[in-house]
């Protein structure tokens, strides 16, 4: 190249809202993209002793052809690796620099580019921005160096803060769809697309970097590249969370679920699928039990037992509770809710039988009335072979408290909890209750059992009144 040439950028006045930081953002994005596509060294952003800022990459070097407004096929073919996709970013940046009185000089081994205003060829009444193409300052220069003058340091820092590369967000987990990032303290969550911040969220639990944008999201990344609507990225945020398997992410989501009753939970955990997945991951990390606020209240003693057994209690909404009932976690193990824990408790339960000789005097006096009580209802049913006393007891079929007694048909025995011997009334009532089960084989809270129990009460009443019509 031996002569100066002018390249019409066909720009009059666009993107009025762009600041200097927006324009610097495009320069940095191009440098980062070139490094990603070519595997070259990280770009540098430095200030010289004359106050000029230099943004330098070490890629292939810019050519004036790159200033045409065309889709970049290479970037479109690698959407997961780059920020930009159209060739308009640099042109918009040049227009913004011109409007904001920032000097710009673009250097590569293919030439040096500056800008100027002049009449459009053949139309003296129209003035547009032109790129001035001149021979290279350094024909051996690696990559591209953009030199900016009259730029304030805060503009550089503001532009760099738009990139995860410079923002310092902690990566909590990497998934095929993107990264889960820690949210900055006392600041909104950040939404990045391939490292470029496109939105902020006041009520998100995490920040996210979407590295595999959907077609719709790519379409939403307009020239402004900011304030992208939530609907454009919600599906990808959901996909990232559903692919997350780390305890750090799942625990934070599960903890956040417990804030729903107070209205303090975040937007991601209000997505039922995300909440269910958090429970599936968290269940696989150790001893966890999931229950609703209502379950926490009416089964408080039983929940205390779970905690005593080393279970971590996680309170969740009923919408999620219904989804996880009977399901498994990411390892295939059953998710432990209150019903499942009750089943496990009963399966592992063992009676601690008490020898009648070791009962207290008052307890023994009550227990010795067993045959007399059964005589009132017509005697002991033939299927009841034993009546035993136990210090411990299974949980009731319809509650999360220990039952007062239980009928075990396989063993042909009635087992009554020792504390029922505290009074004859309690013992007699429990004994007759279990006899009704033994006689009919019907479970609690059933019409058959209600009829049987009514019959038992009638027989006892008739016997007590001396009526022979029993």
Last residue of a domain, one of 204, 236, 268: 236
Give phi and psi for 406, each to the nearest 5: -150, 145
pLDDT value, residue 49: 95
Query: Do 68 and 153 reside in the same domain of the chain?
Result: yes
Packed helices 338-348 and 300-308: angle between N→C axes, nearest 10 degrees: 70
Query: Do 54 and 144 reside in the same domain of the chain?
Result: yes
Tell me how far apart the alpha carbons of residues 115 and 131 are, in angstroms, rounded to a whole number. 4
Average pLDDT, integer, range 224-253: 87
Q: Does residue 420 belong to any structural domain of this protein?
A: yes
Last residue of a domain, one of 128, 160, 192: 160
Query: Do 192 and 51 reside in the same domain of the chain?
Result: no
Higher pLDDT, 84 or 406: 406
pLDDT exceeds 50 at position 153: yes
Tell me which residue has tokens 């900011």. Answer: 226
pLDDT value, residue 292: 87
Query: Do 441 and 408 reside in the same domain of the chain?
Result: yes
Pick left, alpha or beta for residue 168 (phi over 0 → left; psi -120 to 50 → alpha; otherwise beta): left
Query: Do 175 and 151 reside in the same domain of the chain?
Result: no
Q: CB within 8 A of 238, min separation 6: which ones? A: 268, 271, 273, 274
Cα angle, residue 140 at apex, residues 134 and 144 outer, rounded to 5°: 65
Q: Does residue 385 belong to any structural domain of this protein?
A: yes
Tell me how far apart the alpha carbons of residues 422 and 112 are, in angstroms, rounded to a whole number. 100
Work out the burial of residue 469: count CB atoms within 10 Å of its CB; fewer than 13 is exposed, 13-18 middle, 19 or more buried. Answer: exposed
Query: Do 228 and 288 reside in the same domain of the chain?
Result: no
Query: Do 298 and 226 reside in the same domain of the chain?
Result: no
pLDDT exceeds 70 at position 75: no
Q: Does residue 470 belong to any structural domain of this protein?
A: no
Q: Does residue 21 belong to any structural domain of this protein?
A: yes
Q: Does residue 70 belong to any structural domain of this protein?
A: yes
In the 3-class helix/strand/coil scheme, how is 433-450 assigned residue by residue? HHHHHHHHCCCCCCHHHH
Query: Do 211 and 258 reside in the same domain of the chain?
Result: no
Average pLDDT, integer, range 203-232: 83
**Strand bridging mode 386-390 / 413-417:** parallel
pLDDT band at 87 (very low <50, low <70, confident <90, very high): very low
CA distances from 23 to 100, 160, 184, 260, 339 (A): 10, 11, 25, 42, 59
pLDDT band at 86 (very low <50, low <70, confident <90, very high): very low
pLDDT band at 12 (very low <50, low <70, confident <90, very high): low
Query: Do 213 and 253 reside in the same domain of the chain?
Result: no
The percentage of residues in the chain with a pLDDT greater than 70, rounded to a whole number, is 87
- pLDDT tens digit string along 418-450? 999 998 888 888 898 889 888 888 777 666 667
Q: CB within 8 A of 173, min separation 6: which ones? A: 179, 180, 244, 245, 246, 248, 249
35-44, 66-75, 169-178, 187-196 — which is least confidently predicted?
66-75
Tell me which residue has tokens 């590569």. Answer: 108
Decide: 128 and 12 in contact? Cβ < 8 Å. yes
Last residue of a domain, one of 305, 326, 348: 348
Count of domains forming the chain:
4
CA distances from 297 to 279, 287, 348 (A): 21, 21, 24
DSSP E strand boundaries for 38-99: 44-47, 53-56
Q: Does residue 118 belong to any structural domain of this protein?
A: yes
Cα angle, residue 178 at apex, residues 177 and 179 outer, rounded to 5°: 150
Q: Does residue 469 belong to any structural domain of this protein?
A: no
Decide: 37 and 151 in contact? Cβ < 8 Å. no
pLDDT band at 267 (very low <50, low <70, confident <90, very high): very high
pLDDT exceeds 80 at position 3: no
Q: Does residue 241 belong to any structural domain of this protein?
A: no
Domain span at 340? 247-348
Query: Do 141 and 257 reside in the same domain of the chain?
Result: no
CB-hemisphere CA count at 13 Å for 407? 21
Please list, residue by residue across 335-364, b when 16 or more beta carbons sit within 10 angstroms of its beta carbon and e when fewer do: bbbbebbbeebeeeeebeebeeeebeeebe
Tell me how far apart the alpha carbons of residues 358 and 390 are, in angstroms, rounded to a whole number. 12
What torsion, rounded to 10 degrees, do the Cα atoms 325, 327, 331, 334 define? 60
Token pair of 393, please? 């007891």
Tell me how far apart the alpha carbons of residues 435 and 414 are, in angstroms, rounded to a whole number. 8
Tell me how far apart the alpha carbons of residues 219 and 202 are, in angstroms, rounded to a whole number. 24
User: CATH code at 424?
Assistant: 3.30.2010.10
Average pLDDT, integer, range 279-303: 85
Token pair of 195, please? 């490292």
Please state the separation of Cα 196 from the chain's center in Å.
22
Query: Do 144 and 29 reside in the same domain of the chain?
Result: yes
Query: Do 327 and 365 reside in the same domain of the chain?
Result: no
């Amino acid at each position: 190249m031996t002569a100066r040439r002018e390249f019409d950028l066909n720009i009059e006045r666009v993107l009025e809202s762009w600041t200097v930081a927006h324009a610097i953002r495009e320069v940095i994005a191009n440098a980062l993209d070139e490094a990603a596509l070519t595997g070259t060294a990280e770009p540098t952003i430095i200030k010289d002793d004359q106050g000029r800022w230099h943004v330098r990459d070490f890629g292939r070097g810019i050519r004036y052809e790159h200033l045409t407004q065309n889709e970049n096929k290479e970037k479109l073919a690698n959407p997961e690796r780059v920020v930009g996709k159209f060739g308009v970013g640099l042109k918009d940046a040049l227009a913004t620099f011109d409007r904001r009185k920032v000097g710009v000089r673009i250097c590569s081994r293919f030439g040096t580019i500056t800008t100027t205003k002049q009449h459009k060829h053949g139309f003296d009444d129209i003035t547009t921005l032109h790129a001035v193409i001149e021979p290279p300052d350094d024909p051996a220069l690696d990559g591209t160096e953009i030199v900016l003058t009259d730029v304030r340091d805060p503009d550089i820092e503001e532009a760099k803060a738009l990139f995860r590369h410079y923002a310092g967000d902690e990566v909590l987990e990497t998934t095929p769809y993107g990264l889960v990032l820690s949210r900055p303290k006392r600041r909104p969550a950040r939404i990045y697309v391939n490292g470029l911040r496109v939105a902020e969220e006041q009520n998100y639990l995490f920040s996210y970097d979407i590295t595999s944008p959907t077609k719709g999201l790519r379409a939403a990344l307009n020239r402004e590249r900011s304030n992208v609507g939530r609907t454009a990225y919600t599906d990808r945020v959901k996909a990232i969370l559903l692919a997350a398997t780390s305890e750090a992410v799942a625990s934070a989501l599960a903890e956040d679920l417990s804030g729903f009753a107070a209205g303090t939970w975040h937007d991601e955990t209000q997505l039922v699928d995300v909440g269910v997945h958090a429970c599936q991951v968290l269940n696989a990390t150790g001893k966890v039990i999931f229950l609703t606020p209502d379950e926490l209240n009416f089964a408080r003693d039983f929940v205390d037992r779970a905690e005593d057994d080393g279970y971590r209690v996680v309170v969740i909404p009923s919408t999620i509770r219904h989804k996880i009932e009977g399901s498994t976690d990411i390892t295939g193990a059953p998710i432990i809710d209150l019903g499942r824990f009750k089943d496990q408790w009963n399966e592992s339960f063992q009676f601690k039988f008490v020898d009648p000789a070791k009962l207290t005097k008052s307890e023994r006096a009550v227990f010795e009335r067993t045959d007399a009580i059964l005589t009132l209802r017509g005697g002991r049913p033939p299927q009841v072979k034993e009546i035993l006393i136990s210090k411990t007891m299974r949980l009731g079929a319809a509650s999360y408290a220990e039952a007062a007694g239980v009928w075990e048909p396989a063993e042909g025995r009635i087992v009554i909890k020792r504390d029922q011997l505290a009074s004859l009334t309690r013992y007699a009532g429990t004994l007759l209750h279990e006899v009704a089960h033994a006689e009919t084989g019907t479970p609690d809270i059933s019409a058959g059992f209600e009829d049987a129990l009514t019959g038992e009460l009638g027989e006892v009443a008739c016997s007590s009144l001396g009526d022979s019509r029993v």
